[in-house]
Amino acid sequence: MIVTSRRRKRTARTSQYVLLALYMLFLAFPLLWMLSVSFKTPRELVELHPSFLPDSVSLSNYREALDTDRLVTSAVNSLKIALATSLLTTILGLPAAYVLARYKGLLSRLGTGWILLTQVFPLILVIIPLFLWLRRLHLTNTHTGLVLVYLVWALPFTLWMLQSYIRGIPTDLEDAAAVDGASRLRTLIHVIAPLLLPGVIVTVMFAFVLSWNEFFFALVLLQDPSLTTLPVTLAQFVGIEGIPRLGPLAAAALLATLPSLVFFGVMQRWLTGGLLSGAVKG
């Protein structure tokens, strides 16, 4: 009986590992396919029945992507915009989410209604009035205007996430800080913020990915080629006829993915540390 139970547990565990491996392979397949295509020669890309692995490794696609399409400049622009958006979203979102989570009243209900309302409208409905307002403020064709757009776009979902984290923190900690003479701002900075580190890290990652991958606003608001972001530059690998240069596009897309992977690797370490720190302090 005991042996049968152990066998069932081993079988169940093995099945879980197999399913997990298949799921990870499913998620990694686009990246692996892109990696394979980026090393293929133009002749291999036009074959009727191409193989998954390249017959011969070629770096010509990477050279073409880096030399002809301002990929590095666009990556630097995207990195600056993404970091600025992440920083501003966190700075503005943390105190606003604290107010929405702790104060039950008209302001909280209006804030929650605004969060839900902003998620209803599609982007195509707001782009024309948004463009006209930014042009009136002389913020079109500038990274500042684009950062402001991303900030307004990311802030509702950021507030929704952060207030759920704040509601999970006991109010007894704030009462204890108030007894010790701490103000609301000091309590938010020294008591709430350290416990919210996992939520803050998730917020930063969300804002970074949103602004790093965004295409539509960047295409409409930026006209100067030296200011374009990475998604807009990647779209230029598709010709007027709609036929993509598949090899250079795969190489450029793979290079564009690397900063996000590095950023996620760094933030994941902080996220793990924040979870452990929050567990100890809580």
Per-residue pLDDT tens over the stretch 108-129? 777 777 777 777 777 777 888 8
- β-pair partners for 244: 238
Superfamily of the domain at 62-281: MetI-like (1.10.3720.10)
**Mean of pLDDT over the chain:** 80
Predicted TM-score (pTM) of the model is 0.78
pLDDT of res. 15:
83
Long-range contacts of 155-158 (CB under 8 A, 24+ apart): 155/89, 155/92, 155/93, 155/96, 156/114, 156/115, 156/118, 156/119, 157/115, 157/119, 157/206, 158/89, 158/90, 158/93, 158/97, 158/203, 158/206, 158/207
Give the CA angle between residues 71, 253, 45 to the nearest 5°. Answer: 110
Alpha helical stretches, state H, 168-245: 171-179, 184-187, 193-195, 197-213, 216-221, 230-235
Q: What's the average model confidence in pLDDT over 176-190?
A: 78
User: What pLDDT sits at residue 274?
Assistant: 47
- Asked whether 44 and 54 are in contact (CB, 8 A), the reply is yes
State the pLDDT at residue 276.
Answer: 42
- What's the pLDDT at 48? 61
At residue 56 the predicted structure's pLDDT band, cuts being 50, 70 and 90, is confident
Site of tokens 């950062």: 147
Select the more confidently predicted residue: 189 or 49: 189
Among the listed residues 273, 255, 256, 164, the one whose alpha carbon sits nearest the alpha carbon of residue 209: 256
Decide if pLDDT at 279 tops 50.
no
Computed on alpha carbons and rounded to an integer, the radius of gyration of the chain in Å comes to: 24
* Structure tokens belonging to residue 141: 């064709």
Amino acid at 136: R
Share of the chain above pLDDT 90, in %: 8
